[in-house]
Amino acid sequence: MSKKVAFLQGNEAAAHGALYAGCDFFAGYPITPSTEVSEVLSAELPKTGGKFLQMEDEIAAMAAILGASLAGAKVLTSTSGPGLSLKQELIGYGCIAEIPCVVYNVMRGGPSTGMPTGPSQSDVMCAKWGTHGDHPAICLVPASVQETYEEVIRAFNLAEKYRTPVMVMPDEIVAHMRERIVFPDAGEIEVTPRKTPTVPPEQYKPYDTSFGDVPPLAAFGSGYKFHVTGLNKMQDGFPTTKADVVQAEEERQIRKVDANIDDIVTFEEYLLEDADVVVVAYGSTSRSARYAVNVAREQGIKAGMFRIKTFWPFPDKQIKALAAKVKGIVIPEMNLGMCSLELERCAQGKVPVLGIFRVDGEPINPDQILEKIKEVK
């Protein structure tokens, strides 16, 4: 049987990926350039008994999905830069309370309202540092329409598996371009269910570490009663200021991601076997990078590409290995050097890191990347 094929925009693919993953609750507020996600889900969710809410603002939308997740729903919100800023306090709440949710953020120019329709890659640091305090961070950066569909599914799986907010951050080009997409059959892509408690309600503790670093999560309304707070808490969910408990609890939350980096971090390697210079890229910029690498090869330059698919946790191990064997790293990105600083940290001065930075609303083209490749001696 032939599979269903469509010609979709990135944002439309994201909405359908969410439905495949079992999303049954969406709350959001219209904002360019991510509104198409809510437009699709406003039509599709009611068909399967799901709930769609257009909230009064981005803060309310984030609060709504956290509440729905605690009630057992698989949840999504979509936004762009200014909206992400408004959501940050409640994203932090979702981190400390360990509430599974997916935040789909289309990167556009900033700061403030910036360029509503201009592409950017300047929100990646918000995914890790946008909210205060130490907390786990998972951020995926797809580079195509098909990949956007698949990475949204993976985001839901990671959110449920590790009980944490997960962000998907395409740039505006990926979100608005249209490409052919092949829909997977039901069951073809694994969908991770939420780990729920097996103990009786009277014995349940929402942060019981005897079950491991990711405790089971009951749903409100299922017979389990438990406390949820934005404060540091004990295993029963009630607040505590005991130093040893707070220290252990926050370290556990970081560890549940850091100890599973090989399960979370994904990337693509292209022509790296004999490469002297590597272009590290992500999102739509990686498409220009691949073209530039191909042209460089035609001109006798041993270039390759490392494409970041999971921005957080950052692929430290892989970048350190590359820095030990190449002559230089080129990083094109639509910001003023956010990924570049991470690469310099990983390279530890072993090789030069040459950046190409644009924040003018225009994409980085292959000629710019090829020119920078030639600067590596």
- In percent, how much of the chain has pLDDT > 70? 100
Of the candidates 314, 306, 311, 316, the one whose C-alpha atom is nearest the C-alpha of residue 279 is: 306
Return mean pLDDT, the chain.
Answer: 97
DSSP string, 329-354: EEEEESSSSHHHHHHHHHHTTSS-EE
- Give the mean model confidence (pLDDT) for residues 3-15: 97
Query: What is the pLDDT, as a whole number, of residue 377?
Result: 77
| 37 pLDDT more than 80 | yes
Query: What is the pLDDT, as a whole number, of residue 315?
Result: 98
- The structural architecture, per CATH, of the domain 268-373 is 3-Layer(aba) Sandwich (3.40)
Query: What is the pLDDT, as a whole number, of residue 185?
Result: 95
Rounded-to-integer distance, Cα 325 and Cα 77, Å: 41
Range name among 71-75, 78-82, 112-116, 129-133 with the lowest pLDDT average: 112-116
- pLDDT grade, residue 1 (50/70/90)? low
The answer, as to whether pTM is greater than 0.85, is: yes
CATH number for the region 5-182 comes to 3.40.50.970
- pLDDT grade, residue 15 (50/70/90)? very high
Residue with tokens 């996600």: 37
- In percent, how much of the chain has pLDDT > 90? 98
Q: Quick one: residue 243, left, alpha or beta (phi over 0 = left, psi -120 to 50 = alpha)?
A: alpha
**Sign of the CA dihedral with 229 first, then 231, 232, and 238 last:** negative
- Give the mean model confidence (pLDDT) for residues 189-218: 96
- pLDDT grade, residue 256 (50/70/90)? very high
Of the candidates 17, 6, 147, the one whose C-alpha atom is nearest the C-alpha of residue 78 is: 17
- Give the mean model confidence (pLDDT) for residues 285-296: 98
- Give Cβ neighbours of residue 7 (< 8 Å, ≥ 6 apart): 178, 179, 180, 181
Q: Where are the domains of the chain?
A: 5-182, 201-262, 268-373
Same fold, 5-182 and 268-373: yes
